Amino acid sequence: METIWLMNPLQNPLAGPVVLMLTLVFGGGGVALLGRDLVRQSVLVGGGSLSRLPTSGQVLWQRYRTWAIIALLFGGAALTGPLTLAGLGAFLCWQGGREYATLANLPKFHSYLLILGGWLTLLGGLVVGSLALLWTPTLAFFIAAALSLRPVENETEPGLRFNLMLATLWGYLYLGWLPAHLVALSTGKAPGLVLAVGLGVALSDIGAFCTGKLIGGPKLAPRLSPNKTWGGVLGNLLGAVLALTLVAFALPALAWWQAAGLVLAIGLGSIWGDLLESLLKRQRGVKDAGTLLPGFGGLLDRIDSLLLVVPLVYYLSLAIF
């Protein structure tokens, strides 16, 4: 099937179902938040404790509005085609790279190098396809290795330079190479997986938050992310199941065993990505990666799961589709 690189999203046959799906999701979410506010108000009037509702309604409504904006941008990009997704990936690389540079204490030159490498990887994906995902990490390694061998001026510089090279390479792989898989996923055998991943990551995160608050359970990784519990892991998987159910129109021939694999990739990949970013923040001693998104923090705080889930689903799709 020939790839359509750019199209009017309103002419995409999936546009109607996507709009209906988002209306149901955000309508249901809005009703749930209104119900929570009413419960909170009745508890306060009755002189009860809000210990079971620790997150303020204002924060949740902020997150709701932020999710709505993200859904419009991601859904629009998915319906418009690979070129728009590449543009989205370029923005994720740019803003995420800036936040990562702060967390990793990278000099400006290294952060620019990281972002430029990510953009070139996205461009390579558009020009030569998924083959770019194979050779760009190798090329990035040799470029970093060559730059690290500049003349040394003092005895402490080699160690610092080595650490900077590793941090820059890691940042490129994390925020340059991983987002480039969005383009590969959209031009693969099942382009509807882009919608499944976007909604899956969102509902997986929301499911983890809800079940973590309601069920709790043993701590998942107390030193990395004290609020995450094994009850939240169940919510991750349930959120992924719900997402695949809602986007069934985009994956009409999906077998049950394929769906099971995707649920595991989305649910567990979301946890993996979240904990990985928690590690980055923990070594820096900060709660959030930035302040771009009201109710969440930085962009990196919102896309941490997406960065891992997209390539996991892409490589899984090569094996099962």
pLDDT digits (tens, 9 = 90+) for 165-222: 999 999 999 999 999 999 999 998 899 999 999 999 999 999 999 998 888 888 988 8
Question: What pLDDT sits at residue 3?
Answer: 76
Question: What integer pLDDT is reported at residue 155 of this predicted model?
Answer: 63
What pLDDT, on the 0 to 100 scale, is given for residue 156?
67
Closest CA to 233 of 204, 194, 199, 202: 204
**Measured CA angle at 239 (ends 307, 247), to 5 deg:** 85
Tokens representing 320?
């099962």
Q: How far apart are CA 240 and CA 243, in angstroms?
A: 5
The answer on pLDDT for 48 being more than 70 is: no
Phi-psi region of 81 (alpha: psi -120 to 50; beta: other; left: phi over 0): left
- The string of pLDDT tens digits covering residues 18-27 is 999 999 999 9
- Which pLDDT does position 41 carry in this prediction? 79
Residue 218, CA distances (Å) to 12, 123, 226, 238, 267 in order:
45, 44, 10, 18, 18
Give me the torsion for CA of 57, 58, 64, 67, rounded to 10°.
Answer: -130
The amino acid sitting at 143 is I
Residue 304's pLDDT is 95
Beta strands in the chain (DSSP E): 219-221, 225-229
CA–CA separation, 20 vs 18, rounded Å? 5
Over 80: is that where the pLDDT of 40 sits? no
Q: Say whether pLDDT at 258 is over 90.
A: yes
pTM of the entire predicted model: 0.92
Mean pLDDT of the chain: 91
The DSSP call for residue 297 is B
Question: What is the arithmetic mean of pLDDT over 104-108?
Answer: 93
**Cβ 146 vs Cβ 158: under 8 Å:** no
Q: What is the pLDDT of residue 214?
A: 87
**CA 192 centroid distance within chain:** 17
Q: If pLDDT is split at 50, 70 and 90, which confidence band does 43 have?
A: low
Residue closest to 202 by CA, chosen among 316, 67, 91: 67
User: DSSP letter at 240?
Assistant: H
Residue 291 DSSP one-character state: S
Q: pLDDT tens, 286-297? A: 989 999 998 889
- Percent of the chain at pLDDT > 70 equals 93
How wide is the angle at C-alpha 302 spanned by C-alphas 107 and 144, nearest 5°? 30
C-alpha dist (Å) from residue 258 to 189, 252, 320: 13, 12, 7
pLDDT of residue 55: 61
Give pLDDT, residue 169.
96
For 129, which DSSP code? G
pLDDT computed for residue 45 by the predictor: 62
Give the tens place of pLDDT for each residue, 264-288: 999 999 999 999 999 999 988 898 9
Q: What is the pLDDT of residue 56?
A: 65
Q: What is the pLDDT of residue 212?
A: 87
